[in-house]
């Protein structure tokens, strides 16, 4: 199989995808704008060939690169980046080179939050009321319908960097006057905890691996208030969440790819569908899959491409927690003190790329333990302020 991996060096913890592809005997073709000698050494070894472009946003350069790969290696079987940012670029390239996977006609319902709601409702799920408001009058009418607070977010967007919680008329007027010049959707505020249903499907759309995350607080609040967050991977997925998540996977026709679905869990225990992402969860979450299950999720993705299913079932022997810290916050414990006090719980720790720092911090720790309470105590202690 000839597999083109777009931006194989970023996110920086995704290079094992290419390594596992090479180990399985596939032709691995890297395409990015970084210098080859800047790539991770194991990534350099894994690539059958690397094509450097001056700018990954220059579509014509990408077309020439894939034309070259096709001429040299034959039909291209897959093209991936595992990144939300490149979904539309990937879709156009797949269409132009007849490669299996998401195409441009799929982008609306997996990128536009307003269209996602329609698909959630097709799946029989409850959603927050929302509307793309293009004028001040439309925004005021929507608020009159649902009441304050409301949340404003880009209808197409990644993360919560430009998401606002609006509590009154003055804040609404300020939002209308200062929001970026892109389409925004206004949604009623849902007072619930964010939980996720994450996983991997095979070529027939069957979920062959699944997991779930619960957050200490909403990412929107973390970004807007510039504070910190921890979140953990559960050992047992609630049956209603699994049922809802699999309905979403079927309705959105998720084939042979990772997914990251977000829901609100309300105080009464019910679920409200929030958002779909056709990629693994961000940051170090994909590494958490491995630490929580003592498995190699990179290899399992390659097994799905190669053999049609995973080679190992997830058994969830550990709870796994990500704990982020930000450089500007003065914490009670230094890194050295954290390692001295909680070292046996720490499975991994590393600096986080600045592009993710607003949401998950400048430095991250992955903790794991068969019981949840020791990890949550450690997470709170690691983030305790001086």
Can you give the pLDDT at residue 219?
A: 76
Query: Taking 70 as the threshold, does the pLDDT of residue 159 lie above it?
Result: no
**CATH 3.30.470.20 residue ranges in the chain?**
193-382
Query: Taking 50 as the threshold, does the pLDDT of residue 351 lie above it?
Result: yes
Of all residues in the chain, what percent carry a pLDDT higher than 70? 99
Q: Token pair for residue 111?
A: 């990128």
**CATH 3.30.1490.20 residue ranges in the chain?**
129-188
Average pLDDT estimate for 6-20: 97
Mean pLDDT, the chain, as a whole number? 95
Q: Token pair for residue 187?
A: 């949604």
**Looking at domain 2-106, which of 3.40.50.20, 1.10.357.10, 3.40.50.300, 3.40.50.720 is its CATH number?**
3.40.50.20
Instruction: Read off the pLDDT of residues 302-337 as tens digits, 9 standing for 90 and up.
Output: 999 999 999 999 999 999 999 999 999 999 999 999
Q: Which range is least confidently modeled, 46-55, 161-170, 221-230, 261-270? A: 221-230
Q: Which range is least confidently modeled, 202-206, 218-222, 321-325? A: 218-222
Distance CA 124, CA 41 (A): 47
Task: Give residue 158's pLDDT band: very low, low, confident or very high (50, 70, 90).
Answer: low
Query: Taking 90 as the threshold, does the pLDDT of residue 227 lie above it?
Result: no
Under a CB-based contact definition with an 8 Å cutoff, are residues 27 and 1 in contact? Answer: yes
Average pLDDT estimate for 19-42: 98
CA-wise closest residue to 132 among 142, 122, 123:
142
Task: Give residue 163's pLDDT band: very low, low, confident or very high (50, 70, 90).
Answer: confident
pTM of the model: 0.94
Task: Give residue 226's pLDDT band: very low, low, confident or very high (50, 70, 90).
Answer: confident
Can you give the pLDDT at residue 231?
A: 96
Distance CA 139, CA 352 (A): 37
Can you give the length of the chain in residues?
Answer: 386
| CATH code for residues 193-382 | 3.30.470.20
For domain 129-188, give the fold: Dna Ligase; domain 1 (3.30.1490)
Instruction: Read off the pLDDT of residues 111-120 as tens digits, 9 standing for 90 and up.
Output: 999 999 999 9
DSSP string, 268-312: TS-EEEEEEESS--STTHHHHHHHHHTS-HHHHHHHHHHHSS-SS
Query: Taking 50 as the threshold, does the pLDDT of residue 140 lie above it?
Result: yes
Can you give the pLDDT at residue 161?
A: 52
**CATH 3.40.50.20 residue ranges in the chain?**
2-106
Can you give the pLDDT at residue 160?
A: 47
CA dihedral of 269, 270, 274, 278, whole degrees rounded to 10: 90
Can you give the pLDDT at residue 311?
A: 95
């Amino acid at each position: 199989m000839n597999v083109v991996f777009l931006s194989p060096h970023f996110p920086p913890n995704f290079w094992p995808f290419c390594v596992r592809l090479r180990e399985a005997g596939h032709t691995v073709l890297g395409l990015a704008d970084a210098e080859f000698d800047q790539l991770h050494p194991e990534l350099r070894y894994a690539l059958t060939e690397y094509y450097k472009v001056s700018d990954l946003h220059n579509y014509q350069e990408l077309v020439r690169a894939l034309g070259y790969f096709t001429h040299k290696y034959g039909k291209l079987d897959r093209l991936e980046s595992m990144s939300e940012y490149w979904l539309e670029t990937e879709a156009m390239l797949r269409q132009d080179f007849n490669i299996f996977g998401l195409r441009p006609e799929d982008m609306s319902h997996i990128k536009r939050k307003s269209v996602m709601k329609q698909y959630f409702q097709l799946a029989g799920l409850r959603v927050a009321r929302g509307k793309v408001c293009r004028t001040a009058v439309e925004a005021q009418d929507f608020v009159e319908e649902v009441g304050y607070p409301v949340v404003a977010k880009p209808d197409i967007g990644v993360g919560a960097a430009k998401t606002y919680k609006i509590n009154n008329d003055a804040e609404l007027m300020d939002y209308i006057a200062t929001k970026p010049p892109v389409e925004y959707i206004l949604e009623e505020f849902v007072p619930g905890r964010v939980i996720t249903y994450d996983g991997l499907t095979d070529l027939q759309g069957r979920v062959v691996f699944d997991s779930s995350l619960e957050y200490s607080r909403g990412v929107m609040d973390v970004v807007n208030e510039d504070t910190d967050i921890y979140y953990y991977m559960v050992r047992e997925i609630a049956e209603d969440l699994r049922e809802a998540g699999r309905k979403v996977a079927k309705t959105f026709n998720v084939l042979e790819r990772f997914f990251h679905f977000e829901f609100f869990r309300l105080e009464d225990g019910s679920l409200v569908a929030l958002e779909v992402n056709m990629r693994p969860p961000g940051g170090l979450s994909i590494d958490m899959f491995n630490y929580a299950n003592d498995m190699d999720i990179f290899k399992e993705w390659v097994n799905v491409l190669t053999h049609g299913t995973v080679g190992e079932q997830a058994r969830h022997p550990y709870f796994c927690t990500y704990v982020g810290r930000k450089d500007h916050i003065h914490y009670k414990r230094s890194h050295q003190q954290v390692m001295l006090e909680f070292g046996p719980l720490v499975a991994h720790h590393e600096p986080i790329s600045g592009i993710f720092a607003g949401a998950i911090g400048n430095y991250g720790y992955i903790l794991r333990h068969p019981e949840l309470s020791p990890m949550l105590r450690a997470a709170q202690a690691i983030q305790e302020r001086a």
